[in-house]
Amino acid sequence: MAHLPPGGPRKVAAPVSEHSFLAAPRAAGIPLSFQRDGFVTPDSIRQTKRLLIGIEGESDTGKTEFSMSSPGPGLGICLDRGIDGALNNDSPPAARHNNWAFKIVQAPLPTQAVQRAYLDYWQEFYKWYKMALENADSRTVLVDGDSDSWELQKLAEFGKLTQIPPIMYTNVNAARRAMYARAWDSGKIVIFTNKVKAEYIDEMDKNGNPVMGNDGKPKRVKSGELERQGFPDQDYLFHIQLRALYNSDEQQWGIRIMKCKNNRSLIGQELWGDECNFAGLVQTVYPDVPLEKWGL
């Protein structure tokens, strides 16, 4: 089944040296038995600069370019068929790093294949995903098209995207969370890009009550806003969620902080122009952490 990680049991990446109890002085009051049994101090965990970022946005709003401003060497696993637009840019931003390599997985779109074929492509994607996270030289890993990978995972599991009872999602949801946990376990910077779609909300009458349809359910109407496609529980798993923006009048790219576990007061803040890159983001969210700690 698609919800079982290909290649056998999940391999846990070896801890980086800073994550070892032996790599840091023993804190006052910490018993030696903690060190002996393999427990780690908060300080040693904080020294590991892992970071999970989700970035969503419409087409051509700079999601991939933002990702490539992250410290390299970087590996990208691409399901989004829009990757060519970024890589063919003859005048990339100054913040882009050139020590990146990519693997493109051209999976079939819905209705183009049967379930067995989707399962083969899902296993191919997951194989490269694991290889990128386990590669000792990669500092940043990009999943370009995370919403496409979620769609592919469901097609591999069910053979379709609609009319699936919620109870059937138990295993595939658990496998998805394990996939993101693997990214966290890697100790790397991992970035996931997502498409957006029109947001729908309940239609309300003049008294503030939902308008009911003939099926007995509230009618749904477009709110005029956009929402992220893909796995719905990302907000609980990622450190930072961003919205990629483009101002056509100023011809500038930007990002808006949608979620931020480290500092909720930053939600809604936007970074434009020369600040719209990885360095600008981490200096905003983690002002006390030198850029060298991230690998820049």
- Note the pLDDT of residue 45: 56
Residue 207 lies in a domain: no
pLDDT digits (tens, 9 = 90+) for 170-214: 999 999 999 999 999 999 999 999 999 888 889 998 999 999 988
CATH code at position 156: 3.40.50
Residue 25 lies in a domain: no
Among 76-85, 201-210, 260-269, the minimum mean pLDDT is found in 76-85
Task: Report, as an integer, the average pLDDT of 108-124.
Answer: 88
pLDDT over threshold 80, residue 30: no
pLDDT over threshold 70, residue 14: no
**Overall number of domains in the chain:** 1
> If you average pLDDT over every residue of the chain, what do you get?
86
* DSSP state string for 237-289: T-SEEEEEEEETTTTEEEEEEEEESS-GGGTT-EEEGGGSSHHHHHHHH-TTS
- Note the pLDDT of residue 11: 47
- Note the pLDDT of residue 64: 92
pLDDT digits (tens, 9 = 90+) for 242-261: 999 999 998 899 999 999 99
Residue 140 lies in a domain: yes
**What are the angstrom distances between the C-alpha of 269 and each of 22, 71, 130, 263, 266?**
39, 23, 33, 11, 6
- Higher-confidence residue of 45 and 232: namely 232
Pick from 291, 116, 114, 109: nearest CA to 189: 291
Task: Report, as an integer, the average pLDDT of 278-288.
Answer: 96
pLDDT over threshold 70, residue 15: no
Task: Name the 3-class secondary structure at 75.
Answer: strand
Its domain, for residue 165, covers 49-195+230-245
Residue 39 lies in a domain: no
Residue 99 lies in a domain: yes
- Note the pLDDT of residue 233: 79
> In which band, very low, low, confident or very high, does the pLDDT at 28 lie, cut at 50, 70 and 90?
low
- Note the pLDDT of residue 226: 83
Residue 2 lies in a domain: no
Task: Report, as an integer, the average pLDDT of 30-54.
Answer: 75
Token pair recorded at residue 129: 């995903």
> In which band, very low, low, confident or very high, does the pLDDT at 90 lie, cut at 50, 70 and 90?
confident
pLDDT digits (tens, 9 = 90+) for 217-229: 899 989 888 888 8
Residue 12 lies in a domain: no
Residue 209 lies in a domain: no
